[in-house]
Amino acid sequence: MRMTEHAVRGPDCLSRLHCDQLLNGELEDRDDLKAHHASCERCTALLATHRRERAMFDVALHRPRPRRRWTAGIAAAAAAFGLWLVVSRDRHEASETRSKGKPTIAFYLKHGNAVRKGGPREVVFPNDAINFTASTDGPAFLAIISMDGAHKVSVYYPDGPTAAPLGVGRDQVLPLSVVLDDVLGIERLVGVFCDQPLSVDQLQAAVARDAALPRGCVADALMIEKRRAP
Per CB under 8 A, residues contacting other proteins are 2-4, 8-9, 11, 15-17, 20-21, 24, 26, 50, 53-54, 57, 59, 61-64, 67, 161, 199-201
Q: Which is nearer to other proteins, 14 or 130 (CB)?
A: 14
Q: At what angle do helices 16-23 and 31-39 cross, to 10 degrees?
A: 110
> At its nearest, how many Å lie between other proteins and the CB of residue 10?
10
Radius of gyration of the chain (CA): 25
> At its nearest, how many Å lie between other proteins and the CB of residue 143?
11
CB atoms within 10 A of CB 54: 11
Q: Which is nearer to other proteins, 27 or 115 (CB)?
A: 27
> At its nearest, how many Å lie between other proteins and the CB of residue 100?
34
Beta bridge pairs of residue 225:
123, 186
Residue 52 makes CB contacts below 8 A (sequence gap 6+) with none
> At its nearest, how many Å lie between other proteins and the CB of residue 6?
8
Integer Cα distance of 166 and 176 in angstroms? 14
Phi first, then psi, for residue 175 (nearest 5°) are -80, 45
Going by DSSP bridges, is the β-strand pair 217-226/122-124 parallel, antiparallel, or unpaired?
parallel
Q: Which is nearer to other proteins, 14 or 124 (CB)?
A: 14
> At its nearest, how many Å lie between other proteins and the CB of residue 80?
21
3-state helix, strand, coil in the chain (%, to 5): 25, 30, 40
Q: Which is nearer to other proteins, 47 or 106 (CB)?
A: 47
Q: Which is nearer to other proteins, 21 or 172 (CB)?
A: 21
